[in-house]
Amino acid sequence: MNYFSSDFKLGILGGGQLGKMMLYSTRKFDITTHVMDASDEAPCKIACNHFTLGDLMDFDAVYNFGKHVDLLTFEIENVNVDALEKLEKEGIKVYPSSKTLRTIQNKATQKLFYRDHRIPTSDFTRFAYISEIEDAIENGGLEFPFVWKASQFGYDGNGVKIVRSLCDLEGLPKGECIAEDLVPFKNELAVIVARNQQGEVKTYPVVEMEFHPEANQVEYVICPARISNHVAEKARTVAMNVSKAFNHVGLLAVEMFQTENDEILVNEVAPRPHNSGHQTIEASYTSQFEQHIRAILNLPLGKTDSKVGGIMVNLVGDEAYTGPVVYKNIETIMELEGVTPHIYGKKQTRPFRKMGHVTIVNEDINEARQIAEVVKNTIKVISE
């Protein structure tokens, strides 16, 4: 198959920042892209060849879009899987597959998958309704504290809450959910695994994630993680086992906990480019976005080593501002050595909305971390 400067059409469901960064690579390779998103102001719109306005959860919209491309991928999990399944049956290639996505879309199903495949993960209980959690607490079947997760449609910290008392359950969605054991951990880690159609597999170095205490969003991604080689090897092995169990094609980001006794437990996965791999654009031989394109097109996978230490800082909307976005002090951070901002193209900011990220590269990861702190404290995402 000739993908380059040809009539081959790659379809991407979702037009957000992940899709936009995927388009860095498709434009480099001159691959024709069709993107569908529900927003007419989607970041991808300026960079794809053809843009379609459509609801990703609508069967007809996804099916009709998919019929007119040669291969379909996605940059967000909230996509109509029934439409993907029908397209596959009709001969359209969908990577990662509808089967993989169906399992991952529902956090309860995802956790059961780990249990069935003997992948280490925290203990959990599945509930059809949140009222069943209250009954379980009353009957002594569930103890505080635990982590409540909505089974579906959670993202970027939404749909996740640490529950320490009955009061914490107030206002949560009433539907299907899980209650996970609250794991005492040293570090939150992630490994991105790439796998192409013929089964070639590569992993990126383990990264360490530091989270914002209120927004439950990643504030810093640090690569390489500041952990022992033994723990890093264990994390990469677990991630490879998860990838093998799913038999996926494309990228799989595996988020994990490093427990206090250095065990590795899988938290959850994302079958697409991921926040934990943004630093690969500047710091790695092959960015995660290019690697995803290589994997789904069954091209040889690129080298995953880092050229230099990298830290990613998320740029999120200041909690005090809503409206047309302004990046205050962006020129100041651009004066710092090894600092590259990426602005996603969202015109409106709101509290904690992901608006961009900044990569800091340095041969000394500790120095990079100090510069990252300066960046975080200097640039402000506000409104006019």
State the binding site for ATP.
107, 149, 180-183, 188, 267-268
Report how far residue 57's alpha carbon sits from residue 61's, in angstroms, rounded to the nearest whole number. 8
User: How many CA atoms does the CB half-sphere of 362 hold within 13 Å?
Assistant: 17
Report how far residue 172's alpha carbon sits from residue 177's, in angstroms, rounded to the nearest whole number. 10
Residue 324 · residue 355 · CB < 8 Å: no
Residue 148 · residue 116 · CB < 8 Å: no
Report how far residue 67's alpha carbon sits from residue 122's, in angstroms, rounded to the nearest whole number. 40
Q: Hey, what's the torsion of the CAs at 276, 362, 309, 17, to 10 degrees? A: 20
Residue keyed to tokens 């602005």: 343
Order the strands of the 348-349 sheet from edge to edge.
348-349, 323-328, 380-383
Residue keyed to tokens 């209980």: 125
Report how far residue 62's alpha carbon sits from residue 72's, in angstroms, rounded to the nearest whole number. 10
User: How many CA atoms does the CB half-sphere of 200 hold within 13 Å?
Assistant: 14
Helix/strand/coil (H/E/C) assignment for every residue in 156-180: CCCCEEEECCHHHHCCCCCCCEEEE
φ, ψ (nearest 5 deg) of residue 10: -100, 125
Minimal CA–CA distance to 278: which of 329, 324, 314? 314
Buried b vs exposed e over 293-324: b needs ≥16 C-beta within 10 Å? Answer: bbbbbbbebbebebebbbbbbbbbbbeebeee
**Known binding residues:** 107, 149, 180-183, 188, 267-268
Q: What is the DSSP string of 111-139?
A: HHHHHHTT--B--EEEESSHHHHHHHHHT
